[in-house]
Structure 1
Amino acid sequence: MKSIFIPGFIPGFAHLCGFTGQKHYRMMGGASSCLTGAYLRYTYKVANSQPHTATMNVHRKLLILGINQLLEKGLIRFEYTEEESRGAGGYITTVIAGETSIVNWDPVGSGELRISVWWKFNIDNHPQANLNGAQQEKFLTSSPLAKSQHYPKFVGATASGWLERERGRYLMGKGSESIFEKYLRKGEKQVLEMVPTPAPNGYKAEGKFIF
């Protein structure tokens, strides 16, 4: 372990180690192991009390968490057939960052997938959950069927993006770019910023947008 130099007299720590004042501190030869330990404990406490600052856009973070789950469950894959690239999509109800969520996907051709995540989803409060016909929620669209004015009642965040598989393996765009159907309920951004940045499972978190 590297030695740590504590410059000068630090009253807040010195009294914890038995020093009665600055003169006593100097007479005893300055910084002791006790003082160093007190300083380290303090700086550790301060460092860990600061809010975690996420560098990844929160909507991109949700999409990566959703894609990772689809890959882990074998519902999508990077080695695909032409038929699969134009086949039917689907959805799952799962848990993302501790909250019930919907993740759905739709092949759009040329190996590309549209991925959507509805985070902190409460089906009981969805105004179109129990309707009939085309008005009933099927969980397959990029955003919920209800009007956005109703979103705060039943969903914390939504995000959709494009997963490239033919020319590379990556989620298109950088930061918030190329992410659409973005929604955040008041107060949820701070919650999502505290979620650890996920590592993409076999693909890149960002990449070139392709029309």
Structure 2
Amino acid sequence: MLSLKGISKIYEVGSERVSVLNGVTLDIQAREFCAIVGPSGSGKSTLMNIMGLLDRPTSGKVLIDGEDMGAASADDTAAARNRLLGFVFQSFELLPRLTVWENVALPLHYRRLDSVTRKRLALEMLGMVGLSDRAYHRPSELSGGQRQRVAIARALIGQPKIILADEPTGSLDSVTAAQIMDLFKTLNAQTSVTVIMITHDQGIAAQCRRRIDILDGRIVGDLTQAPADCAHD
């Protein structure tokens, strides 16, 4: 489904060239539940941005369903990102002036669906994540865990093939983090969406079926494991 072939990323910082990713090759199949694990500065967030078509590699290829995304125009890349990918961030990234259902429906606006359809689908998705009773609230009226559920609903509403979650439990307490992980697992099982979770948290990584370790811009470990049923560290 998602293939990275020899991905490198170099940034120009003044007169210096800083290498963040170094020849990363990785294949992730449909329905997998993966953790990409590494300390701060390891390159994991840059890797997520390249996987998510938010940034382009300096060299190498990103293929989704066999299609070379590097050959796509900016418009085609944006369309593929909207169609194939959903994003969940540590800071939720909800728009404060919109209601919960309007935040969830936002990706469908770019698909030019009519407002009635957008609202219907958003309310259905909120039901899936257990927030039907919060549809008309603003993000500021929700707890952290509820806001993350809204973000997950927004990521799922376009029926993406892949969800990329960047430290999705990083700002949550341990009980809420465990609930969010349970939700990810349930959605992965019920909808068959591939989940790729970026984290530095060993407890979170232990709950994923596949663990990919990155250090200094290189993959240094890749193993399939029996997921631990444990709480957030």
Normalising to structure 1: TM-score of the pair? Answer: 0.25
Q: Write 1 or 2 for the structure with the bigger share of strand.
A: 2
Q: Write 1 or 2 for the structure with the bigger share of helix.
A: 2
Structure with the larger RCO, 1 or 2 (CA within 8 Å, 6+ apart)? 2
Q: Which has the larger radius of gyration?
A: 1
